[in-house]
Amino acid sequence: MTPLRRKRTAAPNLAIEKSFASAGHRYVAGCDEVGRGALAGPVSVGIVVVDLDAPSPLRGVRDSKLLPPAEREALVPRIRRWSVASAVGHASAEEIDGLGLMSALRAAGSRAWASVLDTVTPDVVLLDGNHDWLSARSQGTLFGTDDGGPVTVGQLDTVGCTSPVQTRIKADLTCLSVAAASVLAKVERDALMVSLAADHPDFGWDVNKGYATESHRAAIDAAGPSRYHRRTWRLGSLERPDVARTESGG
């Protein structure tokens, strides 16, 4: 019996981005996040801005999850040259614990947004998913002090995205700017986790990149969580009665 061939998905393109030209928009930013479902490390947000007056093809780009590491890494300099502006922002495990996941994503996205603004102000942003966590909102946070008590932290060091945001489910599969943003964020976050693994070899971050593998959970059971773990989540394989099960994301 002949094995079934895996159907190759169509490459993302600029058709959606170009649809904004009719409204007078020239600079369209694609935005995507990585690290949402990890147990350790930051959430990271990539933004890639394209100029609709000078669009050009960029071959080989797919959603970062569909590409092997070597191909993702080779694409980074090409994406940087191709785009008008690009950036990646991060929010730490501590911020995820203190702010909550959605607000931490906004903080990471706002940092990337602030970097992009040094070059260009996008007219509109295409955001992967169905929820706008990127647009600017006023927010503070609570973190624990050394003695266990809460302390209020003022406004975050971020301005937030002030351009219109259009959410689109599976935009990383269809929109070239969003797929490119996912590649930049994935490569930068993976490199960060590999660098952290050198000082925390028990957790295997150079392989699992902080995600919830069986061996990662077992290592947390044995050694306890590090400062880079999201301590409000269920981390190990053992139930901890003092920690709520707030793990979320994909």
User: Binding-site residues for a divalent metal cation, please?
Assistant: 32-33, 128
- Residues tagged in the binding site annotation: 32-33, 128
Whole-number Å distance between alpha carbons of 164 and 64: 25
Q: What is the dihedral of CA 192, 44, 38, 246, to 10 degrees?
A: 140
Most distant pair of Cα atoms in the chain: their distance:
66
CB 146 within 8 Å of CB 169: no
Where would I find the H helices in the chain? 15-18, 69-82, 93-99, 101-116, 171-174, 176-197, 205-208, 214-223
Distances (CA, A) of 74 to 60, 97, 184, 195, 220: 10, 33, 11, 19, 33
Contact 87, 116 (CB under 8 A): yes
